[in-house]
Structure 1
Amino acid sequence: MADDKTSRTANIFDVARLAGVSHQTVSRVLNNMPNVRPATRARVEQAIAQLRYSPSPAARALVTRRTRTIGLVTPGTVDYGPSSIATNFNFAARAARYNVDAISSPQNDVAAVRTAIDGLLKQRVDAIVLVVVDTEVLAAVQALDIDIPVVASASSARPHPRLVAIDQYRGARGAVRHLLEAGYDTVRHIAGPARNPDAVERLRGWRDEVAAARAQSTPAVHGDWSAASGYRIASEADLTPGEGIFVANDHMAIGVLSALRERGLRVPEDIGVVGFDDVPEAAFVYPSLTTVRQDFAALGEILMQKVLLLVEEPDTVTESTPLPTRLIVRASAPPAR
């Protein structure tokens, strides 16, 4: 009788616990994805058989209607972060033998995003993934009520089961902490667009770390992610030797380095600079840029895993822990001597 009860109530998390793996690994086995070690696959299959686990009837019904196509809504921008997320999600979907139908929409237009979603629904996609770069669009996405899984890549101070993100907040705090520990007594912030979720979290991280350290700061100034805006802001700022600048992305930081050089301010001797993203150019500018690296490949994989899990077990999906960042220390803000 106990076995019958187990078979009726077992879910994907029970299988994961018994096999000693993550629920994402169980999902990969269920979907016959190739990136699972044979020994791990065998353990999962044994646990499935022991628990007599099978996806819920609703999930099975969804499976029978699959087109193996996922709709991807991206912002109409070539910025490094969103484009890297989209690229790596495409890689992960291809590895799982899914096609991706991508649509670009204006990044701050809620109506345009809804139109894009409606168009993908008419294509009978199995799920929709959105790369969100606007807080109003994020709120609209979280309020969606449609019949297929919807997953968003977006930062938020409030975790949500259908959000996948990199930990912008802790990454920002680490960048500010590094500048303070390197001996810069004031850390100012050149922020991204005010309605961009990543920029909001980086701004929050800067503010909280400065407050925790009781360090000096000046009001944040918002740029638009471009090197030109970083150059303009640094050219106009009232800078004093001994300050550090935490810049919300690397392209703006590259503009900052150019402006400081023109003003005769030495980096890192007079001003320390830390960026965010670790774009390919960051290691080759002068001086090389200290920055916060994001793992976009891992983010693409987790987005795909979340989609598959929502398809298999829509009622058991939990909040995802944001992926950690890594501080890459280079010449623009070396460690304290």
Structure 2
Amino acid sequence: MITLKEIAQEANVSPMTVSNVINGNLKRVSKETADRVHAIIKKNNYVPNSAARTLSTKSSMMIALCIADNFYTDLANENYSQSPYNIDMIGIIQHFVEAEGYVLLLCGGETPQEIIDNMKTWKVAGAIFLAGFDSFIPKIEKELGVPTVFLDNVYSDGAISSINIDDYYGGVLAARFLLNQGHQNLAFASNIIHENPLLELRYKGFLEAHRQKNKDFDVNCVFNGPITYEGGIKIGKEIARHPEITGVVATADVLAIGIIEGIRLSGLSVPDDISIIGFDDIPMAKFVSPKLTTIKQNMLEKGKLTTEELFRLIEDPKALPERKMLPVEIVERFSTKNLN
């Protein structure tokens, strides 16, 4: 097998230049040189020695992605690594990470400390934390020691790199849409609101839409359950027992889709009897029947910005962290009915 030194000789560059190309450090390498080195690597089927690279750089070419699981109380009854939203985000982030020549490592643990220790063991070059880590962010920032980006958080006590959507306005949009369509009594379907900061933001936006319309909201019309398809079925059956409710805002598409099924199993239909709005606009929202009206977040852009921010920090250790918030919009399909 060809060696790194032999690649350098054939490309008429130094071994350090070849190493920079392999590791994606292209700031001081021209595109012509990088293309020439890549062509020689491809021609000779050269595979870099990952172990040697880890020892020489004190880090691997791995980016860790961690999703909150059972150590976080409000997620205790849900397998978040199996949610459609998280599966989509994993795929999107993996695409952009691999485009930079890195490998995505799904990293978990029973406690935040165990997660940190696992990442250190693998000598990851950077880390992404997806939702549910707000109270642990100071510990992660202090102890992990690598560039880190946090997705879907409401942490505001320090300077961190984070990518979020406007969850509050998403709640406003959803409730306002149904109220404008003549629905007088709405339900809000979610997990336990006060235990999840993002869900609480969506609920506050939901209430704000009522305030803007001078409408009261009956807090007895908040329905809690795990954000899963099965959880949605249970909530749908409960909602069907309240004939005064004509519209539902759910805090996730998978929950909304389960609610549709629960309502159907109760002998009612969507949207003729009850209208439903979801949140996220996962691909499944277009395939369910009826197709789901939902609050759309741009997941592709979210994943792109996340990886761009992470690699900005990796390439420049002195770079300051940045916070970014993406807008949301409503996508009208067929799960809602205008009562006006």
* TM-score computed with the length of structure 1 as normaliser: 0.71
* Separation (CA, whole Å) in 2 of partners of 1:204 and 1:253: 19
* Separation (CA, whole Å) in 2 of partners of 1:252 and 1:203: 15
Q: Name 2:248's counterpart in structure 1.
A: 245
Of 213, 230, 233, the match for 2:232: 230
* Separation (CA, whole Å) in 2 of partners of 1:80 and 1:217: 30
Alignment of 1:149-164 (within 5 A): 149-156=147-154, 158=156, 161-164=160-163
Deviation at 1:308, TM superposition (A): 1.7
Contact 1:70 1:100 in 2 (8 A): yes
Contact 1:72 1:102 in 2 (8 A): yes
Question: Are the structure 2 counterparts of residues 116 and 31 from structure 1 closer, same or farther at C-alpha, using a change threshold of 3 Å?
Answer: farther
Q: Name 2:85's counterpart in structure 1.
A: 81
* Separation (CA, whole Å) in 2 of partners of 1:179 and 1:153: 29
Contact 2:63 2:128 in 1 (8 A): yes
* Separation (CA, whole Å) in 1 of partners of 2:253 and 2:154: 21
* Separation (CA, whole Å) in 2 of partners of 1:259 and 1:31: 59
Q: Name 2:207's counterpart in structure 1.
A: 207
Q: Which residue identity is paired with 2:238?
A: E
Alignment of 1:44-193 (within 5 A): 65-76=58-69, 77-105=81-109, 112-132=111-131, 134=132, 137-144=133-140, 145-146=142-143, 147-156=145-154, 158=156, 161-193=160-192
Deviation at 1:242, TM superposition (A): 6.0
Deviation at 1:218, TM superposition (A): 2.5
Contact 2:134 2:153 in 1 (8 A): no
Of 272, 275, 283, the match for 1:272: 275
Contact 2:293 2:333 in 1 (8 A): yes
* Separation (CA, whole Å) in 2 of partners of 1:188 and 1:198: 18
Contact 2:248 2:276 in 1 (8 A): yes
* Separation (CA, whole Å) in 1 of partners of 2:329 and 2:165: 11
Contact 1:155 1:165 in 2 (8 A): yes
* Separation (CA, whole Å) in 2 of partners of 1:127 and 1:157: 20
* TM-score computed with the length of structure 2 as normaliser: 0.71
* Separation (CA, whole Å) in 1 of partners of 2:64 and 2:268: 48
The gaps in structure 2 that reach 5 residues or longer are 1-24, 32-55, 70-80
Question: Are the structure 2 counterparts of residues 72 and 287 from structure 1 closer, same or farther at C-alpha, using a change threshold of 3 Å?
Answer: closer
RMSD over aligned Cα atoms = 2.9
Task: Say which SS state the counterpart of residue 105 (structure 1) adopts.
Answer: coil
* Separation (CA, whole Å) in 1 of partners of 2:177 and 2:28: 43
Q: Name 2:293's counterpart in structure 1.
A: 290
Contact 1:248 1:275 in 2 (8 A): yes
Give the total of aligned pairs: 274
Contact 2:162 2:324 in 1 (8 A): no
* Separation (CA, whole Å) in 2 of partners of 1:247 and 1:141: 28
Deviation at 1:280, TM superposition (A): 2.7
Identity of aligned residues (%): 22
Contact 1:155 1:167 in 2 (8 A): no
